[in-house]
Chains A and B, each alone.
Chain A
Amino acid sequence: MRELMIGNYAIARGLVEAKVEIAAAYPGTPSSEILPGIIEFAKRENLDVHCEWSVNEKVAFEAAFGAALYGKKAACMMKQVGLNVAFPSFFESLEREIRGGLLLVSCDDPGPLSSQTEQDTRMVCSLLGVTVLDPSSPSEAADCAYYGLLLSKKLGKPVVLRPTHRVSHSREAVRLYHLGKRKVRLKEGLVGKGSFKGFGIVASGTSYSVVMDVLSELGLKRDIPVFKVIKVHPLNDKVFQFRDSLERVIVFEETDAVIEARLNLKGKVYGRLNGILPDAGELSYDIIRKAVIEMCHLSGLKVKYEEEREVDEVLGKIHLPLRPPKLCSGCPHRATFYAMKRACPDAIFPGDIGCYTLGISLGAVDVFVDMGGSVNLASGFDSVFKKEGRDIPILASVGDSTFFHACLPEIYDAARKKRKFVLVIMDNNITAMTGMQPTPQTGLTADGKRTNSISLEATLSALGVKNVKVVDPYEIPTLVETIKNSLSNFEAEDGPFVIIARRECLLHKKKKWERDIELDEICTGCKRCLKDFDCPSMEFDEDKKRIRINRDLCVGCGCCLFVCPQFSKTKKKVE
């Protein structure tokens, strides 16, 4: 039987069929759907799997590793930058003999599409000598997950599965097997019967699949020899023979030159290192097609293809508005950012990782590095400003899930050192960015059961933060006042000041108020709301030169009323 599913569910399926016993993860795009997938398949197959969202990747890894040491089959899921958080324990785990099995799934994000950096998990694994698998499709990912977990048990060492987002989020009909009965068909090595000697292709992951489609398009399938790699480490010896039997070889892989670096021979091996491919980023269809054609030219093989630019040329003359992602209509974060900027436009604004990284476009995030960076950056700025005797207000922001993930030692450290900054915790009681996973405060387990809820206020107080205020971000004037007061009260108080801006994520609640926001009538077309607030429901009617509220999108939160100067004027008149 086959079932249509995304790659992350296919991985979950492979793990359940391999009878995984423990699964721990921290959500992060593109990895977040694997754990829910395991929960679903385990339920369907009546398999008892312990599944948990851990508070961060190190916790997830160690929980899984502990179980594997004891003799269980464990899996642990995260995104590539999450592996950085788990790195100390990952490194250490390689020195130990495990009695069970441990598959670490670390999802890479070539591009990157939803991460701060690209990073290539395969690179780390190759350097450390860890077995790492690089599947080219959802079906192959299911096989790799199954095979990888069993292999780990056999080796007594962790094994790593590295899908890219194009595998994790591709959809394909994946074959289902009974538990323990998956027929793994992982075929590495020479594909097809290409006999051309001028050049050959080595490829892995999604790039392999794209290469095959490109060769079909160009009618080269019978000519060009292709070597497919799935196990990037340890690398199949035959790939070296393949290289040596040809005049030239080009390597297509994502994201770094890992296989290429191993094969590298000057003047013979082409890829990211010698400039025929870009040295970073996703390998799109167009990039691969262009490189294959270039290799044909280099090797004297005729290929029929004409690049067409007509459409792009005409489009170049038409103005297409850029459409960057935005916070949802009525998102409480937008109100918070607006209040922060309004309260103190001259502050420096360290931000963090989540939906609210989008605060950049509202001018309320100046700088961010990684999960938890907001608090540390604020601390760093504080010590420099103190030293130089400068009085620059510091107004940092972070979400509740990220706060629990990466800010606990940080805020304690700041409290102990009496840092002078205001931290706004945008508390929507959920991990919104990655698809609504519970936070420690939500009080729910991964499979939706009730559990202890950890209070944010109690945590802050235990960590030595003396001043904590809770405000509803929709009350924009109150929030502005609270921020102003805390920034000016520092002389009297000691340590960082925390404001919890608390309101549920709108996308999660799916809430809509039945109220009509009438800005259209009073609008003078000053565009202030567009510049300072940028709600997706506000459109500018160029003919009438005024705002038009898109009633299909507007949730009626009323926050824009605080932003529009016309509204406060007319309201006062009425009163």
Chain B
Amino acid sequence: MRKRFSMEILCAGIGGRGVLLASTLLLDSAIRKGIYGIGSDEYGMSQRGGSVVSLVKVGDVKSPLIGKGKADVILGFEESEFLRNLSYAKRGGIGIVNTPKKALNSTLQDLLEKRGVSLYLLDADDIARREGLYQASNMAVLGFFSSLGIEPFTFENLRDSICDRLKGKMLEKNLKIFEKGFEKGRERRG
């Protein structure tokens, strides 16, 4: 019998700033590999700059919703939105957060360590700004995530999804930012 497999990712960010695109790319990558996936996005009022959460679940799952302590990965496209959703991280999970800081609140950092959550801090805004597309900082976070090499969210897979979804100049810039994020991830982990 095939082993049960599932992966739950919570994307936390600010409405109207590409959270939806990021979660769609993640789903695309799973489907590209023939893995079942379902995601849930928030539309409407929250798209006007409010807190938004996009959920992505792949593998042996049915619903798009994630419970507390269940998320394998939390991608924080903005720091306070990341923190707001931290209780969804599971023991031994992964957190990647877009922040210029070198460390988070120390009590929190200790707690995450105790719970075995690997935490990565990344100044994605800075990467995106250098490429002249501030709104695309999410791509840097995705790039960083891809450097961890977790199937099906590998560099190649996510890159192919980006190439499918975007066109022209937007594609060029987004790819660049994605690659920069990937490199940062590789450097970080030596």
Interface residues of A (CB under 8 A from B): 2, 4, 6, 29-30, 113-114, 136-138, 165-166, 169-173, 206, 209-210, 212-214, 216-217, 284-286, 289, 308, 310-312, 314-315, 317-318, 320-321, 323-328, 355, 358, 433-434, 507, 536, 552-553
Contacts and interface: CB of A to CB of B under 8 A. Distances in A.
Contacts of B80: 320-321, 323
- Which of A166, A171, A308, A328 has the most B CB atoms < 10 Å from its CB? A171
Q: Which secondary structure dominates where chain A touches chain B?
A: mixed
B108 A358 contact: no
Interface of B: 14-16, 23-24, 27-28, 31, 36-51, 60-70, 80-81, 83-84, 86-87, 89, 105, 107-108, 111, 115, 129, 134-135
Given A171-B24, A285-B70, 7 more contacts: A4-B27, A137-B62, A138-B38, A209-B62, A284-B65, A285-B63, A507-B16
A151 B47 CA distance: 36
16 contacts: A4-B27, A29-B45, A169-B41, A170-B38, A171-B23, A206-B65, A213-B61, A213-B63, A285-B67, A285-B70, A289-B67, A315-B83, A315-B108, A323-B51, A358-B45, A434-B44
Contacts of B135: 552
A315 B109 CA distance: 11
B83 to A, nearest CB: 6
Contacts of A317: 107
Given A169-B41, A286-B67, A4 B48 contact: no
- Which of A4, A113, A312 has the most B CB atoms < 10 Å from its CB? A4
Given A4-B28, A285-B63, A318-B108, A325 B38 contact: no
Given A4-B28, A171-B27, A314-B107, A325 B50 contact: yes
Contacts of B39: 170-172
A311 B68 CA distance: 10
B108 A285 contact: no
A285 B86 CA distance: 16
A323 B50 contact: yes
A114 B83 contact: no
A502 to B, nearest CB: 21
Nearest to B117: A311
5 tightest A-B CB contacts, nearest first: A114-B44, A209-B63, A325-B50, A29-B44, A285-B67
Given A4-B27, A320-B83, A325-B15, A308 B49 contact: no
Nearest to A115: B44
A213 B65 contact: yes
B9 to A, nearest CB: 13
A169 B52 CA distance: 13
Contacts of B83: 315, 318, 320
A548 to B, nearest CB: 14
B63 A311 contact: no
B161 to A, nearest CB: 10
Contact of B46 (A114, A214, A284): A114
A210 B50 CA distance: 25
B77 to A, nearest CB: 12
B63 A212 contact: yes
B49 A114 contact: no
Contacts of B40: 166, 169-171
Contacts of A311: 86-87, 89, 111, 115
Given A323-B14, A328-B49, A169 B107 contact: no
A552 B131 CA distance: 12
Nearest to A79: B44
A219 B6 CA distance: 15
A366 to B, nearest CB: 19
A318 B48 contact: no
A169 B24 CA distance: 12
A214 B67 contact: yes
B48 A137 contact: no
Given A314-B107, A320-B83, A325 B45 contact: yes
Contacts of A355: 48
Contacts of A2: 31
B61 A4 contact: no
B111 A314 contact: yes
Given A165-B43, A311-B87, A315-B83, A285 B105 contact: no
Contact of A113 (B45, B48, B68, B87): B45
B97 to A, nearest CB: 13
Contacts of B28: 4
Given A210-B65, A213-B63, A536 B43 contact: no
